[in-house]
Amino acid sequence: MEISGRALRLAAWCAAALGTASVHPPAHAESTMCPQPQRAVFSCPVGAKQVAVCASDPLTEATGTLQYRFGRPAKVEMAYPPKTADWRALTRGGTLMFSGGGGAFIAFEKRPYRYVVYSAVGQGWGSKAGVVVERSGKRVANLSCTAEASSELGPALFSAAGIKPFEDSFELP
């Protein structure tokens, strides 16, 4: 079943008005970067390609997997970490606080690279989302979402999945 953008916005507005959690469409309504039965906990287009963070169901402190994916649904260019790796050892999460807003990010370490997927909103500048690529601690690329991102990134996800805190600093682009 495909959900229209208007229906999603209406559902999100209703959830916000009622003070409930944000509404997210089924992973495959928005992105096919996450193979079934996984769900996208983050997804957005970056030009002609997509960025996604895919989670298995269930995802708990002891079970499940999380994976960064980049490319096109028909041709995934990067899926990291591999399913055989201890993804929790390579993944960290963090939050950002701003006047009139905040955000969250998740970082995947693949030395010498780090891929930091972020989503944030701030008073005066609106929302930002995308992925920053760092090499040896230096930012080499920022791929901003070219349309609205779907994101579940934040403390609730990090806690439920057993994702350790990000120890370094991260600044939004």
* DSSP characters over 62-111: SS--EEEEEEETTEEEEEES-TTS-HHHHEEEEEEEETTEEEEEEEEEET
pLDDT tens, residue by residue, 132-157: 999 999 999 999 999 999 999 999 99
pLDDT at position 26: 38
Strands (E), the chain: 39-46, 49-55, 66-72, 75-80, 91-98, 101-110, 113-122, 126-135, 138-144, 150-151, 164-165
pLDDT at position 99: 81
- DSSP conformation class of 115: E
Q: Where are the domains of the chain?
A: 24-165
Please tell me which of 9-13, 27-31, 82-86 the model is most confident about, judged by mean pLDDT.
Answer: 82-86
pLDDT tens, residue by residue, 90-102: 999 999 998 889 9
The residues with which 47 forms a beta bridge, in sequence order, are: none
pLDDT tens, residue by residue, 31-43: 479 999 999 999 9
pTM of the predicted model as reported, rounded to 2 decimal places: 0.81
- Of all residues in the chain, the percent with pLDDT exceeding 90 is 73
Return the number of other C-beta atoms located less than 10 Å from residue 31's C-beta: 22
